[in-house]
Amino acid sequence: MLLFLSVPQPRPPGARTRAGAARAARWRRRQWLRLQQLQRLRGLLRSLRGRPGTGSHRRGRMALCGQAAGAASLPSELIVHIFSFLPAPDRLRASASCSHWRECLFYPALWPQLRICLRVSPTEQPRLEFLMRKCGWFVRELRVEFAAENYLSGGGGPGDGGGADTGTGGEEVEAPQLSNRWLEVLRTYLELVLCVLVSIRNNRIQQLFEEILSNSRQLKWLSCGFMLEIVTPTSLSSLSNSVANTMEHLSLLDNNIPGNSTLITAVELERFVNLRSLALDFCDFTAEMARVLTDSNHVPLQRLSLLVHNVSVMHKSLDNMPNDEHWKALSRKSTSLRVYIMAFDIKSEDMFKILKPSIPLERIHFDSYITCVSGAIVDLISRQYDKFLTHFILMNDVIDTSGFPDLSDNRNEDPLVLLAWRCTKLSLLAIHGYTVWAHNLIAIARLRGSDLKVLEVTEESIDFDQGELADQDVDPVHNLIEQVSLGLGQPWHAVMDIESLSVFTEPNRHFYREMQSFSEDI
């Protein structure tokens, strides 16, 4: 290791003047102290390197012990600069020299990216908490990888073969419940993930976001969705009145806001007089907000996207939501107003309260993990919104060994067929996790024809009548594909790989992207 140090010796300022003599003396004193510090640094580096000859390694180690005070007195900037040339393992080893070096180890510029590999074990919790406490507030790219060996082999969980068992008589018996071992592993995994998410809530990106808002001068489009509470109820106060008055699109989607807190209030919304597109949590869109949007000083609202989440419904009340008269007033204010609703695990009785007749509903997306959508809800939608509805997405991921729910049970007509018949503008229909009978699927294709641009139904959702299966002369699957393709006027196949479509695998992201394009249409 070689280190070349040079100290320039410029002429002291003010040396030619009598009045500058004292300043020149102080300047020389500072230069001498700086030279002494550099000489101590050179001696420290020489001791770390050791001297050639017999016993050089031993003398180098002893010299390092003797110069420990010198190492601790190095400027923090210099230590960070040294660390920047070292790989992560060497940084950790170098930081063990003294407490001052350990403090410099977690300087934000050294860790713009962080990769953490963990086992799904409670013993990893202290290690993860330490790293998140040190780096969680400034890291820009964080990757946490969990070892899969004990997560997937916990026993009784998905992926381990612990499904249904067969008895001695060859009949399938009821699948056992998830084992305690697998549930414990899953609980540990969720606790580790929660530790990460809670830590990055205080990431400096929240401060940077508010600085961007406060420094903006011509902001027209502000879209913040599912950003782990980076957007707070006070974020919009950073916007100046002039920017708020000219903004045309505002999206604030975050169902993790605790309690009764909201990201925007009706009073705050009064500043956004030029708003043409708005996306909010449904529980935050109150009757008072609807009244503000109908005021004469506001331009007509053209796009409204609403996220209805069971978490929000549990913590917030539906009592303040707009009634049918408010929706009529909004529609009179803007005849081009269209609404997009996404509902996560909402009970049927709550949906009956939410779906007011005068909502100009163009798109609706149901996604269920606990509560399934009923046939009555689908029937209500097809009757109330037949003039507006273009997109209908029905998703169900409820674990039920008895099979997918059948919306046509105890009904003369299938609700999905009635939806296709009544909603003449329907252009997209996607279904997963609900039983769709083959003959009904053919009927839907024939009713809407080429106007139905997208028909996505997963293969496991399609079922056949016994009569179709008993006909030996016709392959029911081939016949279904042929008849649906003829009805749509284009080649059609059932969705075989659910992972290939984000609408089925990433509903949040799909909704956010669709909401963006929905708003851009204006």
Model confidence band, residue 27 (pLDDT cutoffs 50, 70, 90)? low
Q: What is the pLDDT of residue 173?
A: 41
Q: Other CB atoms closer than 10 Å to residue 166's CB: what's the count?
A: 9
At 55, give phi and psi (nearest 5°).
75, 20
Q: What is the pLDDT of residues 211-266, one digit of tens each?
A: 888 888 889 999 887 665 677 788 888 999 999 999 999 998 865 555 567 888 99
Per-residue pLDDT tens digits for 81-92:
888 888 888 888
Q: Count Cα atoms within 13 angstroms, Cβ side, for 323.
A: 2
Rounded CA-CA distance 336/299 in Å is 12
Q: How confident is the model at residue 156 (pLDDT cuts 50, 70, 90)?
A: very low
pLDDT tens digits along 129-139: 888 877 776 77
Q: What is the pLDDT of residue 291?
A: 95
Most confident of 56-65, 178-187, 209-218, 501-510: 209-218
Q: In this structure, is the dihedral angle defined by the CA atoms of residues 69, 75, 78 and 84, taken in order, positive or negative?
A: positive
Cβ-based neighbours of 60, under 8 Å, separated by 6 or more:
47, 48, 49, 50, 51
pLDDT at 65: 39
Decide if pLDDT at 446 tops 90: yes
Of 237, 239, 341, residue with least CA distance to 282: 341
Write out the H or E segment, with its range, that includes residue 481: helix 476-488
Helix (H) or strand (E) holding 432: strand 428-432
Torsion of the alpha carbons at 487, 490, 494 and 497, rounded to the nearest 10? -160
**pLDDT score of 11:** 43
Indicate the range of 194-198, 209-213, 315-319 predicted with least confidence: 194-198
pLDDT given for residue 45 in this prediction = 52
Q: What is the pLDDT of residue 38?
A: 57
Give, in order, the Cα–Cα distances in Å from 90 to each of 84, 95, 105, 180: 10, 8, 11, 41
Nearest Cα to Cα of residue 305 among 275, 326, 268, 333: 275
Q: Which residue has the higher pLDDT, 431 or 313?
A: 431
Dist. CA 29–CA 490, nearest whole Å? 87
Amino acid letter, residue 366: F
CB burial class (10 A; 0-12, 13-18, 19+) of residue 58?
Answer: exposed
- 68: pLDDT strictly greater than 70: no
The whole-model pTM stands at 0.65
The band of 357, judged by pLDDT with boundaries at 50, 70 and 90, is very high
* Cβ contacts of 170 within 8 Å, gap of 6 or more: none
Mean per-residue pLDDT, 489-506: 81
Name, in order, each residue with C-beta under 8 angstroms of 458's C-beta and a sequence gap of 6 or more.
431, 432, 433, 494, 495, 498, 504
200 versus 343: the higher-pLDDT residue is 343
Give domain limits for the chain. 1-6+75-150+180-215, 220-520
Are the CB atoms for 249 and 220 separated by under 8 Å?
yes
Where is pLDDT greater, at 51 or 284?
A: 284
* Residue 55, C-beta contacts closer than 8 angstroms, at least 6 positions apart: none
pLDDT bin (cut points 50, 70, 90) of residue 509 is: confident
- Tokens at 466, concatenated: 């016994």
Residues 6+ apart with CB under 8 A from 198: 132
> Mean pLDDT across the chain, nearest whole number?
78
User: Taking residues 425-453, what's their average pLDDT?
Assistant: 95
- Domain spanning 220-520: which CATH class is it, in words? alpha beta
Amino acid letter, 1: M
Burial class (CB in 10 A: 0-12, 13-18, 19+), 440: buried
pLDDT of residue 100: 82
Beta strand 436-437 pairing with 391-396:
unpaired
